[in-house]
């Protein structure tokens, strides 16, 4: 669990290079089957963006702390699977996810490399990050039930654990956005700790 929060807070980006995808004919959806269909459509549209470079503001609520933790920095996604997070304040951190490897650097300390395959928790986290960005519905459905509300002009996408293994780590992941733009995420871990991230163009 040591790197759980760092992996999870890299989940969402909004595009700097994206062209918005509008669906004027999309009505709000009510049934569970339609909710899943909208979720699939949203994920496919997110995956159409060629590259993402963004600024983030993050708030973490931890049971162990009386006050929330705030941080800011930069996010980047370069297909097919290169993901970077630079935390600039209050402490500088550098995170890179690519292929089967996670690289982490805290402050001025040396970069550390960790293979994903040695830790099932980190594999789940990597899939949670990559699935939406790559538009990979099949990958996400390995771990989550998918549902959505709204329409393509303004939607909320919800990921809830499909397996007990995932439920031991994550209670739910909620993403909000417009068309193929991700604007806000809220992730609640199984222990109740939460991370809310607001994403804006860089």
CATH number at residue 118: 2.50.20.10
Three-state secondary structure along 155-167? EEEEEEECCHHHH
Question: Residue 7's pLDDT is what?
Answer: 53
Q: Is 22 a domain residue?
A: no
Domain of residue 144, residue span: 4-16+42-201
Q: Residue 16 corresponds to which tokens in the numbers above? A: 């700097």
State percent of the chain over pLDDT 90.
Answer: 77
Q: Is 94 a domain residue?
A: yes
Q: Is 196 a domain residue?
A: yes
pLDDT tens for residues 83-95?
A: 999 999 999 999 9
Label residue 107 by pLDDT band (50, 70, 90): confident
Which strand (E) or helix (H) includes residue 39? helix 32-46
Q: Is 165 a domain residue?
A: yes
Q: Is 27 a domain residue?
A: no
Q: Is 29 a domain residue?
A: no
Domain count, the chain: 1
Inter-CA distances, 23 with 120, 146, 155, 178, Å: 38, 20, 12, 11
Please state, rounded to an integer, the average pLDDT across all residues of the chain: 86
Q: Is 37 a domain residue?
A: no
Label residue 170 by pLDDT band (50, 70, 90): very high
pLDDT tens for residues 43-84?
A: 999 999 989 999 999 999 999 999 999 999 999 999 999 999
Asked if pLDDT for residue 14 goes beyond 70, the answer is no
Picking from 18, 17, 9, 11, the residue whose alpha carbon sits closest to that of residue 179 is 18
CB atoms within 10 A of CB 168: 14
Residues 150-178: what's their mean pLDDT? 96
Q: Is 186 a domain residue?
A: yes
């Amino acid at each position: 669990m040591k790197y759980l929060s760092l992996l999870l807070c890299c989940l969402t980006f909004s595009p700097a290079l994206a062209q918005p995808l509008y669906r004027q004919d999309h009505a709000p959806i009510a049934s569970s089957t339609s909710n899943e269909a909208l979720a699939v459509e949203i994920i496919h549209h997110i995956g159409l963006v060629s590259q993402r470079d963004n600024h983030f503001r993050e708030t973490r609520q931890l049971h162990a702390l009386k006050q929330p933790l705030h941080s800011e920095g930069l996010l980047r996604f370069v297909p097919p699977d290169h993901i970077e997070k630079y935390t600039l304040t209050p402490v500088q951190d550098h995170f890179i996810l690519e292929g089967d490897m996670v690289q982490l650097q805290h402050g001025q300390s040396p970069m550390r490399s960790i293979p994903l395959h040695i830790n099932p928790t980190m594999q789940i986290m990597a899939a949670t990050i990559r699935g939406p960005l790559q538009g990979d519905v099949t990958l996400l459905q390995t771990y989550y039930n998918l549902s959505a509300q709204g329409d393509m002009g303004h939607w909320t996408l919800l990921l809830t654990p499909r397996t007990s293994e995932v439920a031991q780590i994550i209670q739910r992941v909620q993403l909000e956005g417009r068309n193929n733009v991700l604007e806000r995420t809220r992730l609640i871990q199984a222990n109740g700790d939460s991370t809310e991230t607001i994403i804006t163009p860089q």
